[in-house]
Amino acid sequence: MVEKATEKKSPKDVNKSEEIRKIATLMKAKGEKPRPVAIIAILKKQGVVVSSPQVSMVLKRMGFRPRKRRKSGDLSAVVAAASKGVKSKSKSKISIEDLVAAKKAVGRLGGLDRAIAALEALRQFEG
């Protein structure tokens, strides 16, 4: 019979994918989002070198999908960009009348994309 070795595995004997899975599962149990950068840092402390694409693929196979990225013309991205320009001292609330007026302006300009482009051009002239 062959006896199993009870000594620690050398870095060459480590199953990197299994280590990534273990850490991702622990992070999920703690309520953290398993991100490749964090997993790479933890494994580096343990002496295991893994690449970002390798970690990403293992996470993808585990069901952890990356966040969806917003399209550049998305309304929420424009609102977020516009809110950065507003001074924090004067937080103005948008009323229903403001929204109705904005909808009419978008209709006159021929769509949301053109209205957003016009507002961005206006901001450049004012700034």
Q: What is the pLDDT at residue 85? A: 53
pTM of the model: 0.45
- The rounded average pLDDT for each run of 10 residues, N- to C-terminus, in the chain (127 residues) is 47 82 92 91 93 92 75 56 51 82 87 86 81
Show the tokens assigned to 84. 């950065």
Name 111's Cβ contacts closer than 8 Å, sequence gap at least 6: none
Please report, for the chain, how many H helices and E strands are present, in that order.
Answer: 6, 0
Helix (H, G, I), strand (E, B) or coil at 51: coil
Crossing angle for the helix pair 36-45 and 52-62, to the nearest 10 degrees: 120
pLDDT at 110: 87
- Per-residue model confidence (pLDDT) at position 4: 46
Query: How far is residue 87 from each of residues 33, 73, 80, measured CA to CA in Å?
Result: 32, 23, 13
Nearest-angstrom CA–CA distance, 35 and 61: 14
